[in-house]
Structure 1
Amino acid sequence: MIEKHPKRVAVVGAGISGVTSAAHLLKQGLEVTLFERSGIEGGVWHFDERPALEPPYPNETPSRGDYETRPESASLTPPAEVGDQQEDIEIAHAPPGPCYAGLKNNVSTRMMRTSLQAWPEGTPDFVSQSVLEEYVQTIAKVHGVSAIAHYNTRVEQVRKLGTEWLVRTTTLQKAPATLGGSRLVENRWLFDAVVVASGHYHMPRVPDIPGLGEWKQAWPNRVWHSKGYRNPRIFKDQNVLLIGAGVSSVDIAKESIPYAKHVYQSSRGGAFDLPSSFLPENATRVGGVKEFRLNTTQDVESSASQPIPGTVVLTDGQELTDIHSVVLCTGYITSYPFLSHLHADTKSVDEADEFVLVTREGEMVHNLHKDIFYIEDPSLAFVGAPYHIATFSLFDFQAQVVARVLGGKGLLPSKEQMRGEYQERVKTKGLGRTFHSLRGLGEEQTYVAGLVQWMNESAAELGIEDKMQGHTAEWHQADVDRQELIRLIRGIPDPK
């Protein structure tokens, strides 16, 4: 149980999960402070043509995150390794996200509508990232979130001190060189509760494939993670190898085909790989990558017109040559570098105790009640953990639950009850990424209905008339339409 009724709440992140969390917390009358490391709301839907710096090869240690947390009382001037250019300083402080110019939603806007804001009249089901970004920003402005947000402010540490949470931040105060240049200002804050809404798509997963690091070192501009993808024109007349067969890989393949000479997509046959039928006609699905071999004796100019002098060996024995670019569409690692003391980088998912949040695989968040409240201390909450859902609306439901509980309108079960329910879910869903997946037929509806029932039973017990509403009829119709579209795309016979 939460030890005392919280008043001061910190929210980390200004994507859809952070903005909806802050908006609902404000509606409950709480004192809210939101921290966003970039200069704008929007999260993964904000397009920044500048890519983030590339991660190490390999990159598989979850607590590292996508930035190096600054030690306490660090210098107020940017470190030497950042560089002297303002742009370099900004990118190091707030690495840009994975949004690319042609990004669109793959779930209908009818299913993504939140309880806080309607879409502009006439909004189609599928829209560009700019429409989605503007929607998030509209919620922030209309519901007072922008007014309580600290932009260009990165959270370095979150730690419990007695009954309060210490949040340490660094703010990038921008200034031209003529005025002394930019500087970092450290602040320490105390809160009664913290809501982590920093999203999934920050820390690129770079697998330890034999030879990959050597390829990256020799050809750093030709081997990179899909987080840095912005425009398909860079692949003009190239043979491109995409490693991974998820959504980003398929999107890049579709966009690149008009420009590339040929696109190969490598798939290990993972549980979340999309069918090869999703690829454009001129792309080729191949097996998993066993190793990269580099021909160090071949002298080739480093221009984009020449292929990398080496061979990609696949698990089925096939070999690929004349590859110009390798893009790692290998996903992201669950990471909260500001909560590094709750990471266990050396423990496997099966070795997680009741305190750890993230183990070495970086595929799930452990010890959360309903994918939201940290069981050991529910004054630490998470919004945005589930996968394979209508993100905007589901995160809005989670945000409502957090706001109701912290605002005194929702009741938490005992720690023993939460622990028991969590262990039952582990038995049902298993550990790993599938734990947060709600892609099964009806799973998302069941999850949301459970949240609504929980909050409304609490309201009845507390004598509160303010009832939480679940999915709308429009949402359910949009879901029916979506299932029919998936059936048609995959060539599944009509059950009728």
Structure 2
Amino acid sequence: MASTYIRARSIAIIGGGPSGLVAAKYLSAEKAFDKIVVFEQRSSTGGIWNYTPDQTTEEIFTVPQTSPAGSIDKPIWRTPRENESLKTDHDTNRSDTKVPSFISPLYERLETNIPRSLMGFSDLNWPQDSQLFPKHYTALAYIQQYGNDIENLVRLETQVVDVRSATDNSWVVKSVNIRSKTEQEETFDVVIVANGHFIVPYVPEIEGLKAWNEKYPGIVSHSKYFRKPDDFAEKKTIVVGNSASGLDISSQIAPLCVPPLLWSQQSSPHLQPAPDPAKLDLPPIAAFIPESRSVRFENGHVESDIDAIVFCTGYFYSLPFLTSVSPPLIIDGSRVEHTYKHLFYAPNPTLSLLALPQRVIPFPVAEAQSSVLARVYSGRLPLPSKEEMQKWEKDRVAEVGAGRNFHLLPFPKDAEYINELSKWALSAPVKEGLENDGRGKVPPVWGRWEYWCRENFPAIRRAFVAKGDARGSVRALEEVGFDFNEYLREKENDGKARL
């Protein structure tokens, strides 16, 4: 079947977080486009890494939350915090002007759950004085530094409210300047969605939950709105879910809440936490009993007089500005429909979506994805036929199902995905005038060290956390007992012993 070449001139990127900035850098490196615009609704780049300590609720949150139908975010206008670094497209005095703030799922004590040496961008080192697992404000500064050289492409305080296909196969992007309320419609050859998937929380429908929440409003929440463990002091608390946020939030609350913290889990945690006597491991919740403020678990265990419940149950995929696109990208919100390689919208691949995969190392994944997008949209790299792209989705569904597992790429699948895309990008023919001898911007290709670190990072994280308050001074893997060179020597000795 014939391959398809795309030669775009104008590109819209929705979102100025890490993935959007990565896309802008790889596209710029192609030196092939007349217009690249990054639309960012905040007053600064960095996306959800812009911490919002005082925003703990929003209109879209309901209990239960079973619909992916989100809405265009509404800003909260606030006074800039002291020493807050803001970039803006407007000539205003930031000392007396309120700024638009959009809720972020970050919490006060959040550190990355990936060591910085594995997590970072391929062409920017972390500050050498930052801890092994950086704090969220360090990550924000790092991301913003990464985007410094393409900040002229970013249109701040500008929100995309609608994207629709035009008759000539281009895209009409409707945006609103949220400060002036000015609306604008522009046509682009390509649209890249990089708005992330931490927007619409998922709270499962469980017997009695709705009535329970109506009788005891404010008790049920979601990890998106968690900010500090002190809010749970002396409260009998249940944390539902054992993802990275579930593990971290339960560990923060456990020392302060009425002991033990009740930790409801559907399966074994993928980050393999150390045993914690301050937590009582319990199966999923079977029913809420409003009469006694009680909860019954699937094993029959009942706990009464519950003061707080935090659902760490993830998010829906939600694209409220793409509702007119057909066939639809969102049905039940468990995945994005009609994608090829978790990246291209197969019915019309001039629409693409970054950062859909989960259980991955996000920054290098975004680089690998963007390296492909840049070369495809500049015409240096062909796409397979529509039939082949649709077959990929069918094969993926046959392998893992059509639900929440579709975009999951746990190790080593994430490493293989990075290398597959990067090598695909690097297969493009050289072009005179591009960096790296005409190859263009080179994406990451993972080798032995990256595979070793990726496989071991849950154990590395446990060793880091075990340092307690002293972990703030930890800078290197070796300081928590992980030495790659020692690993290589052991493998070599093991190989000799087998000969």
Is the TM value for this pair above 0.5? Answer: yes
Partner of 2:126: 119
Mapped partners of 1:483, 1:326: distance in 2: 26
Question: Are residues 275 and 379 of structure 1, via their aligned partners in 2, closer, same or farther at CA, if it must alter by over 3 Å?
Answer: closer
Q: Deviations over 1:235-282 (max 9, x none)?
A: 11111111222221111111112221221111233xx74478546321
Greater Cα shift, 254-263 or 468-477: 468-477
Q: Deviations over 1:165-187 (max 9, x none)?
A: 111122221xxxxxxxxx63322
Say whether 1:454 aligns with 2:424. yes
Tell me if structure 2 keeps the 8 A contact 1:105–1:128: yes
Residue 405 of structure 2 aligns to a residue in which SS? Answer: helix
Tell me if structure 2 keeps the 8 A contact 1:165–1:190: yes
Partner of 1:267: 265
Aligned pairs for 1:305-344 (under 5 A) are 310-342=293-325
Greater Cα shift, 190-199 or 430-439: 430-439
Partner of 2:15: 13
1:320 CA displacement: 0.8
Q: Any stretches of 5+ residues in structure 1 without a counterpart?
A: 70-77, 174-182, 296-308, 344-354
1:292 CA displacement: 1.5
Tell me if structure 2 keeps the 8 A contact 1:98–1:227: yes
Q: Any stretches of 5+ residues in structure 2 without a counterpart?
A: 80-96, 465-489, 495-499
Residue 5 of structure 1 aligns to a residue in which SS? Answer: coil
Q: Which amino acid aligns with 1:150?
A: R
Greater Cα shift, 447-456 or 471-480: 471-480
Say whether 1:248 aligns with 2:253. no
Partner of 2:236: 239
Question: Are residues 428 and 91 of structure 1, via their aligned partners in 2, closer, same or farther at CA, if it must alter by over 3 Å?
Answer: farther
Question: Are residues 140 and 275 of structure 1, via their aligned partners in 2, closer, same or farther at CA, if it must alter by over 3 Å?
Answer: closer
Partner of 2:445: 471
Q: 1:213 aligns with which of 207, 210, 215?
A: 210
Mapped partners of 1:157, 1:86: distance in 2: 23
User: Identity over aligned residues, as a percent?
Assistant: 25
Q: Deviations over 1:25-55 (max 9, x none)?
A: 1222322111122222222322111224151
Mapped partners of 2:38, 2:278: distance in 1: 46
Give the alignment's Cα RMSD to 1 decimal.
Answer: 3.1
1:391 CA displacement: 0.9
1:423 CA displacement: 2.6
Question: Are residues 291 and 198 of structure 1, via their aligned partners in 2, closer, same or farther at CA, if it must alter by over 3 Å?
Answer: same
Mapped partners of 1:438, 1:453: distance in 2: 18
Mapped partners of 1:390, 1:16: distance in 2: 12
Aligned pairs for 1:78-227 (under 5 A) are 86-87=77-78, 95-141=102-148, 143-144=149-150, 146-162=151-167, 163-173=169-179, 184-227=181-224
TM-score (norm 1): 0.80
1:206 CA displacement: 1.8
Question: Are residues 422 and 221 of structure 1, via their aligned partners in 2, closer, same or farther at CA, if it must alter by over 3 Å?
Answer: closer
1:486 CA displacement: 8.0
Tell me if structure 2 keeps the 8 A contact 1:257–1:280: no
Partner of 2:290: 294
Say whether 1:35 aligns with 2:39. yes
Q: 1:47 aligns with which of 34, 45, 51?
A: 51
Q: 1:56 aligns with which of 52, 62, 66?
A: 62
Residue 119 of structure 1 aligns to a residue in which SS? Answer: coil
1:332 CA displacement: 0.4
> How many pairs align?
437
Mapped partners of 2:109, 2:232: distance in 1: 15
